[in-house]
Amino acid sequence: MQKIFNPQSVAIIGASEKEGKIGNILIKNIKPKNKNRKSKLKIFPVNPKGRKIEGLKVYSSVLDIAEEVDLAVIAVPAKFVNQVVEECAWRETPIKNIIIISAGFGEIGGEGLKRKKGLKDLIKKYKLNVLGPNCLGIINASEDINLSFAKANITEGGIGLISQSGAFITSMIDVAESEQFGFSLIASLGNKLNINENDLLDYYVKDPETKIIAMYLENISDGKKFQTKLKRIAKIKPVIIIKAGNSQKTKEAIQSHTGSLAGESVVIQTVVKDAGGILVDNLEDFVSIIKVLNNFKVSKIQTTGKKEGLVIVTNAGGPGVITTDLTESYGLKLFEFNKKERVALKKKLPEESSVNNPIDLIGDAREDRYQIVLDYLKDIKGIKGVLAIVTPQAQTPIKKIVENIAEYNKKMPFPTFPIVIGGEAKDEAEKVAGSNGINNFEFPVVLIRALKKIGKWNIPATVLVKQAKGEKSDRISRQEYRTLLSYKESEKLAKEFKLNILPAKYPDNEDDLKNFIKKLKLPIVMKVDSPNIIHKNVKNGVAVGLNTVKKVEEEFRRFQKDFPGEKILIQHQVENGMEIILGLKRDTSFGLVLIIGLGGITTEILDEKILLVGNITNVKIKDKLKKSKLYKILKKEKINIDKLVEQAGRLFELGMLDEKIIEVDVNPIFLYKHKDPVIVDFKIMKISQRGSS
């Protein structure tokens, strides 16, 4: 990675003298802009035509360069890329580190897929380190090294940007100029054929110039590795992630509540939150959080005590009230002044001022009134931050107020955020704030959302790493592999793991039915059990409350008519308890996910659930339950949480057996105050042969 981000020599293969060509932009960008650049970078342009480009000697082939070369940047048509890569490896001193700018691989299908496979084979054969293909390149702003076809002059700063999209990088570079922040390292992942986000995270966390890691990802290459790294790195540096591609494109194909509760976006939210990262779903929040973390003291922003919170200072009542509402609606606490503090502050301000929170300085406030309040607030313990709202009245000196706020940020123990609202006033505030090392926020909601998202980034949740046991791993291999196991097959497996599953009987005829009714006792529940019918209720394949033999027989005849050739099961109808959904889902990036959620009609209304990702123990399950709203509901109903934890832990152990288990749906498990829980429906889904989907 050091030779990719800070090479001493680089070959630009596909260099061009033609204005506007990527090969020409690369040559112009890599030439030093800073005369004091530490790196004495040797540049070797490569083009079959030879001659000179930008005053540099051009080599007709990478094989003609006699000197050692740390890095090759390839920008030739896709059909020539694999040949050039092989030439890099054939050299007497091979070039092992390569950035491939060229597009035309897996992203275009067809011929591109063949090129992709060929390139993967070369990487493996010659043990190469390749970034790309189809990428923008890299930028090391700290060392004035720009090996990309983005714009030439990149503002230096503390943001390390990793992006799967080159266009996202160029947009962020423009945004950074207007929002007054800069970059340390920038890397475009492209198709991630070899080097991926996990490799870059390792390098960025060690880079002394990188204070904040910001990532744009469309997919995650190795979710388990990513989760482990994020947990470690988020304790050292804040990691902000914007994850694209979370829309439910296949909602109609979701086959269970488990699938619904653990969609891709929910899994990534759980992983990032538990590891201590900051996940956002839009560019506005992404930029706002960068601004807050980059230029303000926010490591102590979270409130932990009763007398802690934010203070709003304003020269306009309306914006102050709106900001108060927003702060509370986003779950942030406002600081409560005691009587002594209010009296002392009132003496320093005009009689018309309000000294509650928000503090209203009234419309004629100048910089001295903001200064008086900030001077007083700086010595009060428990204040976690000040939101200083400024609206442009005729007499409002925007420049002086923002300059004062910038000065107070240097000496106060908490951040003070300028929120200058308006047109010209806002533009002036942003210019003044930027020149003084802070940022203005145009609207309160943007800042409040950022503070809410940041939360407790520096206190990440503990991720347990204890492995679940898998002594019974051979048992599933004896099952028949298909989309959905029958209830009978699932019941057998559940019992092996001591899951409290309700037994079922399968009558073939009315004589069987009568015998089974005597054993099970009334009332009876009847269900169709078919791999072709996932949602039984929708197909009228469930009958409950059958409290006479006659009713059971009538329904049995209807089921035989409506579902010819399908299995019909009957169960004793147990007493209703608190309905909970348990589920397992094997996420493509992060592996096995355990879901615990409210069942019944409350499932969609309250959307109350918890997800656990990674290697899970009963201790982890209980700890996360106790931190959820679900725990309060269980406690109110006087449910023994340990019994739920035990069943959830056994379900997870079942899922650890074999990667062929893609999804398990326990819907519902009934919980009771004074007896063991009962699972009344249990599905093991999407089991397939190895190598098939």
Contact 578, 639 (CB under 8 A): yes
**What is the count of structural domains for the chain?**
3
Both 196 and 301 in one domain: the answer is: no
In a domain, 639, yes or no: no
Both 315 and 215 in one domain: the answer is: no
Residue 472 CA to its chain's centroid (Å): 34
Buried b (16+ CB within 10 A) or exposed e, 649-686: bbbbbbbbbbebbbbbbbbbbbbbeeeebbbbbbbbbb
Question: Rounded distance, CA 294 to CA 6, Å?
Answer: 24
Both 216 and 320 in one domain: the answer is: no
pLDDT for the residue numbered 300:
53
**CATH code (residue 173):** 3.40.50.720
What torsion do the CA atoms of 256, 260, 262, 265 make, to the nearest 10 degrees?
A: 150
C-alpha dist (Å) from residue 351 to 296, 337, 347, 362: 33, 18, 8, 10
Last residue of a domain, one of 572, 600, 629: 572
Question: Rounded distance, CA 160 to CA 326, Å?
Answer: 31
Per DSSP, 64 falls in state G
**325-354, pLDDT tens digit by residue?**
999 999 899 999 999 999 999 999 999 999
How many residues are listed for the chain in this entry? 693
Both 92 and 156 in one domain: the answer is: yes
Q: CB-based burial of residue 616 (10 Å sphere; 0-12 exposed, 13-18 middle, 19+ buried)?
A: buried
Q: Which domain, by its residues, includes 209?
A: 2-245
pLDDT for the residue numbered 254:
41
Long-range contacts of 599-608 (CB under 8 A, 24+ apart): 599/257, 599/667, 599/668, 599/669, 600/668, 603/257, 608/633
Both 220 and 72 in one domain: the answer is: yes
In a domain, 427, yes or no: yes
Instruction: Please list the ranges in the chain whose pLDDT falls under 50.
Output: 249-255, 458-482, 689-693
What torsion do the CA atoms of 85, 89, 91, 97 make, to the nearest 10 degrees?
A: 80
Both 238 and 361 in one domain: the answer is: no
**CATH code (residue 375):** 3.40.50.261
DSSP per position, 439-495:
---SSHHHHHHHHHHHTTTTSPPP---PPPP-TTTTSGGGSPPSSB--HHHHHHHHH
In a domain, 18, yes or no: yes
Give the amino acid at 179.
Answer: E
Against a cut of 0.85, is the pTM above it? Answer: no
Tell me the two tokens of residue 209. 């110039």
pLDDT for the residue numbered 288:
95
pLDDT for the residue numbered 209:
94
Of the CA atoms within 13 Å of residue 75, those in its CB half-sphere come to 23
Both 35 and 164 in one domain: the answer is: yes
Contact 361, 369 (CB under 8 A): yes
**106-161, pLDDT tens digit by residue?**
776 788 899 999 999 999 999 999 999 999 999 999 999 999 999 988 989 999 99
In a domain, 679, yes or no: no
Both 145 and 44 in one domain: the answer is: yes
SS3 148: strand
Last residue of a domain, one of 537, 557, 572: 572
Both 360 and 301 in one domain: the answer is: yes
In a domain, 107, yes or no: yes
pLDDT for the residue numbered 548:
95
Nearest to 257 by CA among 663, 670, 542: 663
C-alpha dist (Å) from residue 361 to 325, 420, 437, 595: 19, 15, 26, 50
Last residue of a domain, one of 572, 601, 626: 572
Contact 43, 30 (CB under 8 A): yes
In a domain, 676, yes or no: no
pLDDT for the residue numbered 604:
57
**CATH code (residue 537):** 3.30.1490.20
Both 24 and 152 in one domain: the answer is: yes
Question: Rounded distance, CA 208 to CA 216, Å?
Answer: 21
In a domain, 204, yes or no: yes
pLDDT for the residue numbered 256:
53
In a domain, 474, yes or no: no
Both 214 and 102 in one domain: the answer is: yes
Both 550 and 423 in one domain: the answer is: no
pLDDT for the residue numbered 531:
80
